[in-house]
Structure 1
Amino acid sequence: MTFLLFLIFLAACVAAGSTGVLFAPGDWYRDLRKPDWTPPSWVFSVMWTSLYLVMSWAAARVAVTGESGLALALWALQIALNTLWTPVFFGLHRMRAGLLIIVLLWASVGATTVAFLQVDTLSGIMLIPYLIWVTVAACLNYAILKMNPDEAHL
Protein backbone atom coordinates (compact mmCIF):
# COMPACT_ATOMS: atom_id res chain seq x y z
CA MET A 1 0.00 0.00 0.00
CA THR A 2 2.78 2.46 0.84
CA PHE A 3 4.37 1.93 -2.58
CA LEU A 4 1.06 2.66 -4.33
CA LEU A 5 0.72 5.83 -2.27
CA PHE A 6 4.29 6.76 -3.19
CA LEU A 7 3.40 6.39 -6.89
CA ILE A 8 0.31 8.58 -6.46
CA PHE A 9 2.27 11.33 -4.75
CA LEU A 10 5.02 10.95 -7.33
CA ALA A 11 2.43 11.43 -10.10
CA ALA A 12 1.49 14.78 -8.51
CA CYS A 13 5.17 15.72 -8.45
CA VAL A 14 5.62 14.66 -12.08
CA ALA A 15 2.68 16.90 -12.99
CA ALA A 16 4.30 19.79 -11.14
CA GLY A 17 7.67 19.07 -12.73
CA SER A 18 6.19 18.85 -16.22
CA THR A 19 5.55 22.58 -16.14
CA GLY A 20 9.32 22.96 -16.41
CA VAL A 21 9.13 21.24 -19.79
CA LEU A 22 6.02 23.10 -20.92
CA PHE A 23 7.38 26.46 -19.78
CA ALA A 24 11.13 26.06 -20.22
CA PRO A 25 13.34 28.97 -19.16
CA GLY A 26 14.36 29.75 -22.74
CA ASP A 27 16.00 32.85 -24.16
CA TRP A 28 14.13 35.27 -21.89
CA TYR A 29 15.61 33.72 -18.76
CA ARG A 30 19.02 33.14 -20.30
CA ASP A 31 19.29 36.84 -21.17
CA LEU A 32 18.34 38.13 -17.70
CA ARG A 33 21.01 39.40 -15.36
CA LYS A 34 21.49 36.88 -12.55
CA PRO A 35 23.56 36.85 -9.37
CA ASP A 36 26.95 35.13 -9.39
CA TRP A 37 25.64 32.44 -7.05
CA THR A 38 23.01 31.23 -9.56
CA PRO A 39 23.35 27.44 -9.79
CA PRO A 40 24.27 25.96 -13.19
CA SER A 41 21.26 24.90 -15.26
CA TRP A 42 21.87 21.16 -14.79
CA VAL A 43 21.58 21.51 -11.00
CA PHE A 44 17.90 22.39 -11.22
CA SER A 45 16.84 19.13 -12.90
CA VAL A 46 18.98 17.04 -10.54
CA MET A 47 17.64 18.83 -7.47
CA TRP A 48 13.98 18.74 -8.49
CA THR A 49 14.13 15.06 -9.46
CA SER A 50 15.72 14.19 -6.12
CA LEU A 51 13.35 16.39 -4.14
CA TYR A 52 10.24 15.06 -5.87
CA LEU A 53 11.26 11.48 -5.07
CA VAL A 54 11.90 12.30 -1.40
CA MET A 55 8.75 14.44 -1.10
CA SER A 56 6.67 11.56 -2.49
CA TRP A 57 8.21 9.03 -0.13
CA ALA A 58 7.68 11.33 2.86
CA ALA A 59 4.04 11.90 1.91
CA ALA A 60 3.45 8.16 1.46
CA ARG A 61 4.86 7.53 4.95
CA VAL A 62 2.60 10.18 6.45
CA ALA A 63 -0.45 8.96 4.53
CA VAL A 64 -0.44 5.57 6.26
CA THR A 65 -0.63 7.13 9.71
CA GLY A 66 -3.97 7.77 11.37
CA GLU A 67 -3.35 11.48 11.82
CA SER A 68 -2.42 12.68 8.35
CA GLY A 69 -5.33 14.94 7.33
CA LEU A 70 -3.80 18.38 7.93
CA ALA A 71 -0.32 17.27 6.90
CA LEU A 72 -1.54 15.94 3.55
CA ALA A 73 -3.75 18.97 2.96
CA LEU A 74 -0.66 21.13 3.39
CA TRP A 75 1.28 18.81 1.08
CA ALA A 76 -1.43 19.32 -1.56
CA LEU A 77 -1.23 23.10 -1.12
CA GLN A 78 2.53 23.19 -1.56
CA ILE A 79 2.49 21.00 -4.66
CA ALA A 80 -0.21 23.22 -6.18
CA LEU A 81 1.89 26.33 -5.54
CA ASN A 82 4.97 24.49 -6.81
CA THR A 83 3.08 23.73 -10.03
CA LEU A 84 1.92 27.33 -10.41
CA TRP A 85 5.28 29.09 -10.05
CA THR A 86 6.92 27.87 -13.27
CA PRO A 87 4.22 29.00 -15.73
CA VAL A 88 3.92 32.35 -13.97
CA PHE A 89 7.66 33.06 -13.84
CA PHE A 90 8.93 31.39 -17.02
CA GLY A 91 5.73 31.30 -19.09
CA LEU A 92 4.25 34.72 -18.34
CA HIS A 93 7.57 36.37 -17.34
CA ARG A 94 5.89 37.72 -14.21
CA MET A 95 8.75 37.98 -11.73
CA ARG A 96 6.77 39.87 -9.06
CA ALA A 97 3.85 37.43 -9.20
CA GLY A 98 6.40 34.60 -9.18
CA LEU A 99 7.96 36.06 -6.05
CA LEU A 100 4.57 36.19 -4.33
CA ILE A 101 3.86 32.59 -5.29
CA ILE A 102 7.27 31.36 -4.15
CA VAL A 103 6.91 33.14 -0.80
CA LEU A 104 3.57 31.38 -0.35
CA LEU A 105 5.23 28.14 -1.47
CA TRP A 106 8.00 28.63 1.09
CA ALA A 107 5.43 29.19 3.86
CA SER A 108 3.42 26.13 2.81
CA VAL A 109 6.54 23.93 2.61
CA GLY A 110 7.51 25.17 6.08
CA ALA A 111 4.04 24.39 7.42
CA THR A 112 4.08 20.98 5.71
CA THR A 113 7.47 20.22 7.23
CA VAL A 114 6.21 21.08 10.72
CA ALA A 115 3.04 19.03 10.22
CA PHE A 116 5.04 16.07 8.91
CA LEU A 117 7.44 16.29 11.86
CA GLN A 118 4.46 16.01 14.21
CA VAL A 119 3.08 12.94 12.42
CA ASP A 120 6.30 11.12 11.43
CA THR A 121 9.65 12.60 12.39
CA LEU A 122 11.60 11.03 9.54
CA SER A 123 9.09 12.33 6.97
CA GLY A 124 9.46 15.84 8.36
CA ILE A 125 13.24 15.61 8.22
CA MET A 126 12.96 14.40 4.63
CA LEU A 127 11.32 17.72 3.68
CA ILE A 128 14.09 19.93 5.07
CA PRO A 129 16.18 19.83 1.84
CA TYR A 130 13.05 20.92 -0.06
CA LEU A 131 12.58 23.87 2.29
CA ILE A 132 16.24 24.82 1.80
CA TRP A 133 15.95 24.56 -1.99
CA VAL A 134 12.78 26.68 -2.07
CA THR A 135 14.62 29.24 0.07
CA VAL A 136 17.40 29.36 -2.53
CA ALA A 137 14.85 29.61 -5.35
CA ALA A 138 12.98 32.43 -3.60
CA CYS A 139 16.22 34.35 -3.06
CA LEU A 140 17.11 33.82 -6.70
CA ASN A 141 13.67 35.01 -7.84
CA TYR A 142 14.09 38.14 -5.67
CA ALA A 143 17.64 38.82 -6.89
CA ILE A 144 16.66 38.44 -10.55
CA LEU A 145 13.70 40.77 -10.01
CA LYS A 146 15.98 43.41 -8.46
CA MET A 147 18.67 43.01 -11.12
CA ASN A 148 16.18 43.28 -14.01
CA PRO A 149 13.70 46.03 -13.10
CA ASP A 150 12.86 46.72 -16.75
CA GLU A 151 11.75 43.10 -17.18
CA ALA A 152 9.59 43.07 -14.03
CA HIS A 153 5.91 42.75 -14.95
CA LEU A 154 3.05 42.56 -12.43
Structure 2
Amino acid sequence: MIFLTLLFACAAAAASGVIFPPGEWYRGLRRASFTPPNWVFPVVWTTLYILIAWAGARLAVVPGAGLALALWSAQIALNTLWTPVFFGAHRVKAGMGILALLWLVVAGLIVVAFGLDWVAGLLLLPYILWLSVAAALNWRIWRDNPAA
Protein backbone atom coordinates (compact mmCIF):
# COMPACT_ATOMS: atom_id res chain seq x y z
CA MET A 1 0.00 0.00 0.00
CA ILE A 2 2.90 2.37 0.74
CA PHE A 3 4.34 1.75 -2.73
CA LEU A 4 0.99 2.56 -4.38
CA THR A 5 0.66 5.78 -2.37
CA LEU A 6 4.13 6.92 -3.37
CA LEU A 7 3.53 5.85 -6.96
CA PHE A 8 0.39 8.00 -6.91
CA ALA A 9 2.53 10.97 -5.78
CA CYS A 10 4.89 10.25 -8.68
CA ALA A 11 1.92 10.05 -11.07
CA ALA A 12 0.80 13.47 -9.85
CA ALA A 13 4.27 14.81 -10.66
CA ALA A 14 4.09 13.16 -14.09
CA ALA A 15 0.68 14.74 -14.69
CA SER A 16 2.30 18.17 -14.68
CA GLY A 17 3.83 17.17 -18.02
CA VAL A 18 0.34 16.62 -19.43
CA ILE A 19 -0.87 19.96 -18.08
CA PHE A 20 2.25 21.81 -19.25
CA PRO A 21 3.50 20.04 -22.41
CA PRO A 22 6.65 21.30 -24.18
CA GLY A 23 4.67 22.83 -27.06
CA GLU A 24 5.73 25.26 -29.76
CA TRP A 25 7.80 27.41 -27.40
CA TYR A 26 10.10 24.48 -26.60
CA ARG A 27 10.30 23.32 -30.21
CA GLY A 28 11.45 26.83 -31.18
CA LEU A 29 14.39 26.83 -28.77
CA ARG A 30 17.98 26.02 -29.65
CA ARG A 31 18.72 22.75 -27.86
CA ALA A 32 21.88 20.79 -27.18
CA SER A 33 23.02 18.29 -29.78
CA PHE A 34 22.81 15.58 -27.11
CA THR A 35 19.08 16.20 -26.50
CA PRO A 36 17.38 12.78 -26.59
CA PRO A 37 14.51 12.17 -29.01
CA ASN A 38 11.09 13.11 -27.61
CA TRP A 39 10.00 9.49 -27.11
CA VAL A 40 12.84 8.92 -24.61
CA PHE A 41 11.44 11.29 -21.97
CA PRO A 42 8.20 9.45 -21.10
CA VAL A 43 10.01 6.09 -21.14
CA VAL A 44 12.76 7.30 -18.82
CA TRP A 45 10.42 9.18 -16.48
CA THR A 46 7.99 6.27 -16.18
CA THR A 47 10.87 3.99 -15.23
CA LEU A 48 12.32 6.53 -12.82
CA TYR A 49 9.00 7.19 -11.09
CA ILE A 50 8.57 3.46 -10.45
CA LEU A 51 12.11 3.28 -9.01
CA ILE A 52 11.57 6.42 -6.92
CA ALA A 53 8.32 5.06 -5.46
CA TRP A 54 9.93 1.67 -4.83
CA ALA A 55 12.88 3.27 -3.03
CA GLY A 56 10.53 5.41 -0.95
CA ALA A 57 8.41 2.40 -0.02
CA ARG A 58 11.50 0.50 1.12
CA LEU A 59 12.64 3.48 3.20
CA ALA A 60 9.19 4.04 4.72
CA VAL A 61 9.35 0.77 6.66
CA VAL A 62 12.85 1.30 8.04
CA PRO A 63 12.97 2.60 11.63
CA GLY A 64 14.51 6.06 11.82
CA ALA A 65 13.75 6.99 8.22
CA GLY A 66 12.22 10.38 9.04
CA LEU A 67 14.95 12.38 7.28
CA ALA A 68 14.84 10.08 4.26
CA LEU A 69 11.08 10.50 3.95
CA ALA A 70 11.35 14.28 4.36
CA LEU A 71 13.92 14.35 1.56
CA TRP A 72 11.72 12.04 -0.55
CA SER A 73 8.83 14.46 -0.08
CA ALA A 74 11.01 17.46 -0.95
CA GLN A 75 12.29 15.85 -4.11
CA ILE A 76 8.83 14.96 -5.42
CA ALA A 77 7.65 18.52 -4.69
CA LEU A 78 10.62 20.02 -6.56
CA ASN A 79 10.21 17.48 -9.36
CA THR A 80 6.57 18.51 -9.75
CA LEU A 81 7.45 22.22 -9.65
CA TRP A 82 10.00 22.17 -12.48
CA THR A 83 7.56 21.42 -15.32
CA PRO A 84 5.14 24.33 -14.79
CA VAL A 85 8.03 26.72 -14.19
CA PHE A 86 10.02 25.64 -17.26
CA PHE A 87 7.33 24.61 -19.77
CA GLY A 88 4.40 26.58 -18.36
CA ALA A 89 5.98 29.90 -17.36
CA HIS A 90 8.99 29.59 -19.74
CA ARG A 91 11.31 30.51 -16.88
CA VAL A 92 14.49 28.77 -18.00
CA LYS A 93 16.74 30.30 -15.33
CA ALA A 94 14.26 29.49 -12.54
CA GLY A 95 13.99 25.96 -13.95
CA MET A 96 17.77 25.66 -13.67
CA GLY A 97 17.62 26.76 -10.05
CA ILE A 98 14.91 24.22 -9.26
CA LEU A 99 16.91 21.47 -10.98
CA ALA A 100 20.04 22.39 -9.03
CA LEU A 101 18.14 22.26 -5.75
CA LEU A 102 16.42 19.02 -6.79
CA TRP A 103 19.81 17.47 -7.63
CA LEU A 104 21.14 18.41 -4.17
CA VAL A 105 18.07 17.04 -2.39
CA VAL A 106 18.26 13.76 -4.34
CA ALA A 107 22.00 13.50 -3.63
CA GLY A 108 21.23 13.91 0.08
CA LEU A 109 18.42 11.38 -0.18
CA ILE A 110 20.78 8.87 -1.78
CA VAL A 111 23.36 9.30 0.99
CA VAL A 112 20.71 8.88 3.68
CA ALA A 113 19.11 5.96 1.82
CA PHE A 114 22.39 4.06 1.58
CA GLY A 115 22.73 4.39 5.34
CA LEU A 116 19.29 2.87 5.88
CA ASP A 117 18.73 0.44 3.00
CA TRP A 118 21.37 -0.05 0.33
CA VAL A 119 18.79 -1.32 -2.20
CA ALA A 120 16.85 1.94 -1.88
CA GLY A 121 20.10 3.84 -2.45
CA LEU A 122 20.79 1.83 -5.59
CA LEU A 123 17.25 2.36 -6.86
CA LEU A 124 17.80 6.13 -6.71
CA LEU A 125 21.08 6.22 -8.64
CA PRO A 126 19.45 6.28 -12.12
CA TYR A 127 17.39 9.25 -10.94
CA ILE A 128 20.39 11.42 -10.11
CA LEU A 129 22.08 10.38 -13.35
CA TRP A 130 19.02 11.48 -15.36
CA LEU A 131 18.77 14.70 -13.32
CA SER A 132 22.37 15.39 -14.33
CA VAL A 133 21.39 15.01 -17.99
CA ALA A 134 18.28 17.15 -17.44
CA ALA A 135 20.36 19.86 -15.76
CA ALA A 136 22.84 19.85 -18.66
CA LEU A 137 19.94 20.18 -21.12
CA ASN A 138 18.33 22.98 -19.09
CA TRP A 139 21.64 24.80 -18.78
CA ARG A 140 22.29 24.59 -22.54
CA ILE A 141 18.82 25.98 -23.28
CA TRP A 142 19.50 28.80 -20.81
CA ARG A 143 22.91 29.50 -22.37
CA ASP A 144 21.87 29.16 -26.02
CA ASN A 145 18.56 31.06 -25.76
CA PRO A 146 19.30 34.25 -23.82
CA ALA A 147 15.94 35.77 -24.74
CA ALA A 148 13.97 32.74 -23.49
Q: Into which bin does the TM-score normalised by the smaller protein fall?
A: over 0.9
Q: 2:144 aligns with which of 142, 147, 150?
A: 147
User: What is the distance in 2 between the residues matched to 1:69 and 1:91?
Assistant: 33
**Structure 1 residue 121 corresponds to structure 2 residue 118:** yes
C-alpha displacement at 1:109, in angstroms? 0.7
Pairwise mapping of residues 67-146 of structure 1 onto structure 2 (< 5 A)?
67-146=64-143
Two-structure CA RMSD over aligned residues (Å): 0.5
Tell me the TM-score normalized by structure 2. 0.99
1:51-102 C-alpha deviation (Å, 9 max, x unpaired): 0001101110111111210001000000000000000000000000000000
Deviation, 1:149, is 0.5
Q: Distance in 2 between matches of 1:106 and 1:65?
A: 24
Give the length in aligned residue pairs: 148
Match of 1:16 among 10, 13, 16: 13
1:4-51, Cα deviation, whole Å (9 max, x unpaired): 000010011001110000000000001100011001111000000000
- Runs (4 or more) in structure 1 with deviation over 3 Å come to none
One-letter identity of the residue aligned with 2:81 = L
Measured in 1, the distance between the counterparts of 2:21 and 2:11 equals 15
Structure 2: which 5+ runs fail to align?
A: none
From 47, 54, 57, the equivalent of 2:44 is 47
* Residue 150 of structure 1: how far off its partner (Å): 1.4
Amino acid at match of 1:56: A
**Secondary structure of the corresponding residue to residue 41 of structure 1:** coil
Unaligned runs of 5+ in 1: none
Query: Among the aligned pairs, what percent are the same residue?
Result: 53
TM-score w.r.t. the length of structure 1 is 0.95
CA distance in 2, matches of 1:90, 1:45: 15
1:26 is aligned to 23
